[in-house]
Structure 1
Amino acid sequence: MKRVLLVIDVQEVRERKYKYIIEKNFPDSFANTEQF
């Protein structure tokens, strides 16, 4: 159970990091990524 939660946390952090990179590098297209 703990292991599953850890995986979810890692995925969430990666998503935020990825989203942050997109926002930083492509501010215009960031609005499109908010759907996902």
Structure 2
Amino acid sequence: QLPGTQSVLPVNTVAALMGIPVIIYVIFKNRADDL
């Protein structure tokens, strides 16, 4: 096993961290379209 496998972040946590920038991008994109 690779070192540090016991401290791997949960999949949902990784997905949330990856999703935050996408959500922010979509919000700003929608605001720009409204302007």
Identity of aligned residues (%): 0
- Which TM-score applies when normalising by structure 2? 0.53
- Which consecutive residues of structure 2, in runs of 5 or more, have no partner in the other structure? 1-7
Instruction: Flag the structure with larger Rg.
Output: 2
Stretches (4+) displaced over 6 A: none
1:4 aligns with 2:23: no
Does 1 or 2 have the higher relative contact order (CA < 8 Å, sep 6+)? 1
Distance in 2 between residues matched to 1:10 and 1:20, nearest whole Å: 17
